[in-house]
Each structure stands twice: as C-alpha cells, then as structure tokens.
C-alpha cells in the first residue's frame, strides 16, 4: 500500500482559510434553516477537514450518520424530517459531497444494480458510507484509533471494496502498529488500540461569545459578583511568567518574559487565618452512581436520620440535596432540566482509566442542564463565561493535518469520540432535547470550548474509601487565584470552596496575613514537596514549569525544603 499521507477527505492540499470559513458560516446558517438535512452536515464536515479541525469533522459526520439512521427507520423520532430533507436531492447526479471517489459505483455494485425502493434510501445508504469514511479518517487524525477502526469496519461492511475505506484501514493499522510497537505483519487487535487523542484548544474563529476578560465591563461584572463572596478582594490584571513545558535554563535569569492574565488581589489587609473567599457553586459532578453526596454542591450528605436536613426531589426521589437551600438553588438553576429524565446513570462508575474524562463529561452535563433550564447559551452561563481556557492562538494550531503517529504538539485539548461526541449527544437526547434543532447551543465546538475551560480550573475530591477522585467542581472565582509555591492562602472544599489566609508562610516561617494590594497566591500542588516534584505536579494545571520565586531559588540552590500546606488534587494536576 502507498504509505504517503491520505487525502481522503481533503482534495486540495492547503486551501485558503478565508473562503473556507465563509463556507462554514453559510453551511451553519443553512443548518439553522434545515436542521435535519444530513447533506449540509456532510458538507460542513468536509469544510472542517479542510480547515484542519478533524474533531469537528467527526462531530458533523456523526450527526449526519444519525440522520441517515433516522431516514432508514420509520419508527425513529426525526424520520419524517430527515426523509423530507433528503428527498430534496437528486440521485443522478447525486450531491457532490456523496460522490467521492468511486463510492456511488461501489454501493451500486453491492446492491446488485437494483434500484432501491425509493431514491432517498439509496442516498441515505450512500451518506452512511460517506460518514464512515469521514469519521474513520478524522478520528485517526485526532489519535482515536479504536473508534476510527470501528467506523472504518462498519463502512467496509456496507461497501467492502471501497478503495478509500481500505486505504484508511491500512493507515489506521500502520499508525496502530507504530504506537503499539508491533511488527508490520502482526495483527492489530481493536480492543488494544488507543482511543484518546488531542485536538486544537482555541477560541474558534467563529466563536463570538468569548468576552474580553480585561475590559472594564468584564472586570466590573466580575468584581460585583465577587463582592458577596470575598468582600476584601478584587479581580485585577496580573503579570505572570510565560511558562515553558519542561525544565529550562531560565532559573538563574533576573528577568523572565511575562504575560497578562487575571488574578485575585487583596483590596484591604487580611489577617492571618482570616477567611479570604467563600464560594458556592452548582457546577459540580459526581461520578459514583447512588453516592451519598448532595446533587447540587457535592458535599458529603449527613446521615439520613430523622434529624437530617437532607431533602429529596419530590418528583424524582433519587436525587438528594443536603438542605433546602441546595434544593431551591438546584430548582432555580438546573434540576428541572434533568428531573425524571433518566440521565443519572450515564457515565457513572467509570473504569479507572476513564475517571478524569467522566468527571469532565459530568461537568459538561451539568452545564447543559443549567443552560437549558436558564434558557441561555451554554457559553453564556456565568459560571464558565469568564474562565481562563488556556487557549492556543489559532494560527499556531493551523498546521497541515496529515497522518502522523501523534497529533501535533500544539494540539492540547484531550479528545475522544465517546466523551466529546457520543455521550454528550446521548445526554441531550435523554433530556428530550432535539440535538438537530438546537445546533447553535450544542455544536461540538461549544462542548470543546467548555472542556477547555474545565480542564485546568476544576478541582476534584478523592473518595476516602479508595482514594479515587469522584467529585469535581468548577468554582469560577476561586480559580481566578494564581499559583505560588509560597502561597499566602490555604484552600478547602466542603460545601463551599474556602480560601483562608495562612497563619504562617512556607518560606522562612514568616507570619501570615495579606496586605492590601498584594496578590492572593493559591497553591496547585503540595508545597511540602521538593522543587522538582512540585514542578512536575503543577505542570498539568499551570500549563508549564513553575517559575515562582521559591522554585527558581530552590532549583538554583537545591537542598532546602520547608513549610506545610495540604493539597487536594486539581483535576489536571
């Protein structure tokens, strides 16, 4: 087989982005008008492929595949709409997006040249095969080899001799053998294939919902919200070192490059031990089915005896809240969207290797319940709108997406077919949401943007019984505090996320307390550890090698470690 990178989806090598972005917008508008038209989804998938967003291409191809299934089965909910949309298209010539390579001939040959009962059923079969092509090559490019091979095999079951699908299968096996260190003639077992990859983490060029976090308007909104939970603090712009991924030689430098981000600052003196911030958040997740935590705030529930303040929802008795306050906040902000909808068991009790993905997914599910119930776009929900997403500029991500062993290093957002595409749509369907008619709210790029914000800001709590992190939360104000290995606060997450001023500082045992104007310095790792281990721990949540004063001094003159400071895991940590 030819071993050069495939061009199954992309016919032009590097088409210009401007017209492609315009075409993407036209197709998005067309989908707004005709949300059940699978041809528009397939066309947009090809545009995404040409723009080097294979994850988004896979997302659209999967929706098109679901619509093709709707066309085939009269008992499905959107059968009529999907069929009517497809009936608008001719079979000869068929829509260009379906006429790829020899796919039409291949399918006719398999179907024995017989005319299908109705032209639209032939188009639906053709569309399914095209979806399998796009899904398999796109997921391969994202590094999700198991899902890629599974879709490829489903495609080959439909059109066994299709050259493009056979080529894709060859590429998947080639990459799989390299990743699993197998010989060229050894068989590849589908269940051993990696199924997690990385995709672009960016503010998409069409995402006009990201606020300018540094604007007067944003800062005054944030400060108004903050005043209730941290009366002595304010949100301000902070200058932070630009971090590199691994060990560098900048420890001894007097000046290191910095960038502007946000941070929390004291606007009045705060005494040692004094509370700095108390934040309540409903953006929580619990990955244990039937676990005794409050559905709203994630607190361990009190024993359910006669004195218990715990309340269960009168409609769906299984959902329990620690008290009336949590119940009423849940009712106001999200619960009716999921009440009696049978979404509770989804993604619960995951395997060990899926724990982090399932917690992030459940945070996404909570966000979708909040936005649905509050009737606002998910990215406008105030709990995530202003969060730092650690986005990489689009132009740095913009590389030629050819098949290599791994996605490019600029792509940093963890991705899998199951957790980014399949289960979020399944959850929406369970919530009785029409996933086609609500595309602007539930497009894959919206999920990816939310995931970018959760990663690096969510905190997780371990279950004392087995040490597995099984409750996670996003506290949007707590997570504005930057890290330092000589922190001036400690944090604790019970029902509220609480930051308190340290009694004593780690370095030199200085007395705690924070003077007006000083930055609130949290810790993302165990500050008792030696410098190398601290840096390794914090790299996930910091996005690089810690360059705080303490780390630089200790790395330049190792052998002194002091102080105390317990730490629970930040999910990414």
Ligand X SMILES: C[S@@+](CC[C@H](N)C(=O)[O-])C[C@H]1O[C@@H](n2cnc3c(N)ncnc32)[C@H](O)[C@@H]1O
Positions that interact with ligand X (CB under 6 A): 240-241, 243, 261-263, 388, 390, 456-457, 479-480, 482-484, 542-543, 548
- In angstroms, what is the minimal distance from the CB of 547 to ligand X? 6
- Rounded to 5 degrees, φ, ψ at 393 are -55, 140
Give the list of residues 6+ apart from residue 566 with CB closer than 8 angstroms, or none: 490, 526
Choice between 132 and 451, CB closer to ligand X: 451
Give the list of residues 6+ apart from residue 467 with CB closer than 8 angstroms, or none: none
Contact indicator for 536, 320 with CB cutoff of 8 Å: no
- Rounded to 5 degrees, φ, ψ at 306 are -70, -25
Dist. CA 49–CA 9, nearest whole Å: 7
Measured over the CA atoms of residue 185, residue 186, residue 190 and residue 196, the dihedral's sign is negative
Give the list of residues 6+ apart from residue 50 with CB closer than 8 angstroms, or none: 9, 10, 12, 15, 20
- In angstroms, what is the minimal distance from the CB of 524 to ligand X? 7
Structure tokens at 361: 């997914």
Choice between 418 and 534, CB closer to ligand X: 534
- In angstroms, what is the minimal distance from the CB of 259 to ligand X? 8
Dist. CA 175–CA 404, nearest whole Å: 7
Dist. CA 321–CA 485, nearest whole Å: 36
Choice between 40 and 491, CB closer to ligand X: 491
- CA–CA–CA angle 417, 140, 442 (5° rounding): 30
Choice between 262 and 330, CB closer to ligand X: 262
Choice between 89 and 221, CB closer to ligand X: 221
Choice between 378 and 456, CB closer to ligand X: 456
Dist. CA 293–CA 462, nearest whole Å: 13
Among candidates 338, 271, 259, 8, which has minimal Cα distance to 155?
Answer: 8
Choice between 136 and 482, CB closer to ligand X: 482
- In angstroms, what is the minimal distance from the CB of 350 to ligand X? 24
Among candidates 480, 265, 281, which has minimal Cα distance to 387?
Answer: 480
Structure tokens at 297: 């705030």
Structure tokens at 512: 């705690």
Choice between 286 and 522, CB closer to ligand X: 522
Choice between 58 and 539, CB closer to ligand X: 539
Structure tokens at 434: 């029409």
**Residue 256: burial class (beta carbons within 10 Å; 0-12, 13-18, 19+):** middle
Choice between 158 and 507, CB closer to ligand X: 507
Q: At what angle do helices 119-142 and 38-50 cross, to 10 degrees?
A: 30
Among candidates 355, 556, 364, 569, which has minimal Cα distance to 462?
Answer: 569
- In angstroms, what is the minimal distance from the CB of 203 to ligand X? 14
Choice between 52 and 392, CB closer to ligand X: 392
Contact indicator for 504, 511 with CB cutoff of 8 Å: yes
- In angstroms, what is the minimal distance from the CB of 263 to ligand X? 6
Choice between 274 and 390, CB closer to ligand X: 390
CA atoms within 13 A on the CB side of 421: 25
- In angstroms, what is the minimal distance from the CB of 425 to ligand X? 29
* Bond preceding residue 93 cis, omega within 30 of 0: yes
Choice between 210 and 390, CB closer to ligand X: 390
Alpha carbon 238 to its chain centroid, in Å, reads 26
- C-alpha distance from residue 491 to each of 93, 277, 531, 562 (Å): 65, 9, 21, 19
Among candidates 385, 343, 565, which has minimal Cα distance to 477?
Answer: 385
- In angstroms, what is the minimal distance from the CB of 484 to ligand X? 6
- In angstroms, what is the minimal distance from the CB of 210 to ligand X? 13
- In angstroms, what is the minimal distance from the CB of 506 to ligand X? 14
- In angstroms, what is the minimal distance from the CB of 408 to ligand X? 20
- Beta strand pairing status for 482-483 and 521-522? parallel
Helix H or strand E segment including 415:
strand 413-415
Choice between 145 and 262, CB closer to ligand X: 262
Choice between 512 and 543, CB closer to ligand X: 543
- In angstroms, what is the minimal distance from the CB of 478 to ligand X? 9
- In angstroms, what is the minimal distance from the CB of 241 to ligand X? 5
CA atoms within 13 A on the CB side of 20: 17
Structure tokens at 150: 């599974």
- In angstroms, what is the minimal distance from the CB of 469 to ligand X? 17
- In angstroms, what is the minimal distance from the CB of 9 to ligand X? 33
């Amino acid at each position: 087989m030819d071993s050069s990178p495939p061009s199954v989806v992309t016919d032009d090598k590097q088409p210009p982005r401007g017209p492609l972005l315009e075409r993407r917008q036209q197709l998005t508008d067309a989908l707004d008008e005709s949300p059940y038209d699978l041809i528009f989804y397939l066309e947009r998938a090809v545009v995404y492929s040409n723009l080097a967003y294979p994850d988004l291409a896979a997302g659209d191809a999967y929706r098109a595949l679901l619509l093709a299934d709707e066309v085939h089965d009269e008992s499905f909910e959107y059968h009529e709409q999907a069929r009517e949309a497809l009936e608008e298209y001719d079979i000869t010539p068929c829509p260009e997006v379906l006429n790829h390579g020899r796919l039409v001939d291949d399918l006719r040959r398999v179907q024995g040249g017989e005319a299908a009962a109705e032209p639209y059923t032939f188009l639906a079969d053709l569309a399914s095969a095209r979806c399998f092509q796009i899904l398999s090559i796109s997921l391969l490019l994202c590094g999700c080899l198991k899902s890629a091979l599974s879709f490829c095999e489903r495609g080959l079951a439909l059109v066994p001799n299709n050259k493009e699908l056979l080529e894709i299968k060859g590429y998947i096996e080639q990459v799989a053998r390299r990743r699993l260190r197998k010989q060229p003639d050894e068989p590849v077992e589908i269940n051993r294939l990696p199924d997690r990859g990385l995709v672009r983490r960016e503010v998409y060029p069409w995402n006009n919902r990201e606020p300018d976090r540094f604007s007067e308007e944003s800062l005054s909104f944030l400060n108004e919200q903050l005043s209730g939970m941290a009366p002595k603090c304010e949100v301000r712009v902070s200058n932070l070192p630009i971090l590199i991924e691994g060990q560098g030689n900048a420890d001894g430098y007097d000046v290191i490059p910095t960038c502007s981000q946000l941070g929390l600052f004291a606007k009045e003196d705060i005494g040692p031990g004094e509370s700095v911030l108390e934040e309540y958040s409903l953006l929580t997740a619990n990955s244990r089915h039937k676990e005794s935590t409050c559905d709203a705030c994630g607190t361990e529930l009190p024993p359910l005896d006669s004195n218990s303040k715990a309340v269960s929802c009168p409609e769906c008795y299984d959902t329990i809240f620690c008290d009336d306050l949590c119940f009423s906040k849940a009712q106001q902000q999200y619960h009716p969207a999921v009440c009696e909808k049978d979404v509770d068991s989804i993604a619960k009790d995951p395997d060990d290797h899926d724990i982090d993905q399932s917690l992030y997914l459940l945070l996404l599910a909570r966000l979708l319940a909040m936005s649905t119930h509050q009737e606002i776009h998910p990215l406008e929900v105030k709990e995530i709108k202003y969060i730092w997403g650690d986005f990489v500029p689009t132009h740095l991500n913009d590389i030629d997406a050819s098949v290599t062993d791994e996605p490019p290093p600029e792509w940093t957002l963890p991705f899998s077919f199951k957790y980014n595409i399949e289960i979020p749509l399944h959850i929406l369907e369970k919530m009785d949401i029409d996933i086609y008619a609500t595309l602007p709210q539930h497009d894959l790029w919206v999920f990816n943007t939310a995931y970018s914000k959760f990663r690096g800001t969510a905190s997780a709590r371990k279950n004392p019984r087995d040490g597995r992190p099984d409750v996670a939360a996003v506290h949007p104000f707590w997570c504005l505090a930057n890290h330092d290995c000589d922190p001036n606060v400690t944090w604790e997450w019970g029902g509220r996320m609480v930051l308190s001023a340290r009694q004593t500082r780690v370095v030199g045992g200085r007395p705690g307390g924070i003077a007006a104007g000083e930055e609130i310095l949290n810790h993302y790792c165990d500050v008792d550890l030696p410098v190398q281990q601290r840096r390794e721990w914090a790299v996930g949540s910091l996005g690089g090698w810690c360059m705080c004063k303490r780390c630089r001094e200790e790395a330049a003159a190792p052998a002194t470690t002091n102080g105390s400071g317990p730490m629970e895991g930040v999910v990414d940590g």
